[in-house]
Amino acid sequence: MGRKWKAVLAAAALVVVLGGAYFLYGFLSDKYGPAAIPETEYEAAPDFTVYDADGNPVKLSDFLGKPVVVNLWASWCGPCKQEMPLFQELYEEHGEEVEVLMVNLCAFGNDNVQDAKDLIAEEGYTFPVYFDTDGEAMVNYVGRGVPVSVFVDAGGGLAGYQPGALTEEIMELGLDRILPAENP
């Protein structure tokens, strides 16, 4: 086979691979993109215990009666760091109405409490940070990777689950599901 035919076949193979990637990206974006927070039948959010900066245990169920946004993150995770300003803004604007649980995943050696504390201090974040040193939150909510965000209504129901980085659009969608509707 001549060089010309090899080049034509290589170009055709490249077109097939790129076309397949394009269609796969479109399919996965529709399934897991910004509108991915699922509408679910009522389901209680799985409880877990994490620890505050002083080592005191804190359970998700401790916040029953108040909507909660849980974010599971790691200090080495780029997308986790990119979305943290959204959580700082949420904490500053809605901290009275919504509990923000920023849960660092440090149970299995990929991260540690000090690295997480250093990152938070370095960036000047003021939201509360909790540490999943036992792996309970990770086992209950993390499937394939971080970050993961969970929206829990005041009754403890799972109102939304977003694997991957959060956008403002996804944050608003999740908040709409857990905050009481304002009366005009």
d(CA 172, CA 90): 10
Determine the pLDDT at residue 143: 81
* CA 106, 168, 151, 95 torsion-angle sign: positive
Determine the pLDDT at residue 174: 94
Average pLDDT over residues 28-37: 45
Determine the pLDDT at residue 126: 97
pLDDT tens, residue by residue, 81-131? 999 999 999 999 999 999 999 999 998 777 899 999 999 999 999 999 999
Q: Is the pLDDT of residue 17 over 80?
A: no
Closest by CA position to 120, among listed 52, 184, 56: 52
Phi, psi of 49 (to 5 degrees): -115, 130
d(CA 178, CA 101): 15
Determine the pLDDT at residue 122: 97
| Burial of 34: CB neighbours in 10 Å, binned 0-12, 13-18, 19+ | middle
Residue 184: pLDDT band (50, 70, 90) is very low
Q: Where do we find the tokens 């076949």?
A: 9
Determine the pLDDT at residue 12: 56
Determine the pLDDT at residue 11: 56
d(CA 128, CA 52): 8
Q: Is the pLDDT of residue 15 over 80?
A: no
d(CA 87, CA 69): 9
Q: What is the pTM of this model?
A: 0.77
Name every residue whose Cβ is closer than 8 Å to that of residue 107 and which is 6 or more positions away in sequence: 132, 133, 134, 135, 138
Determine the pLDDT at residue 110: 79
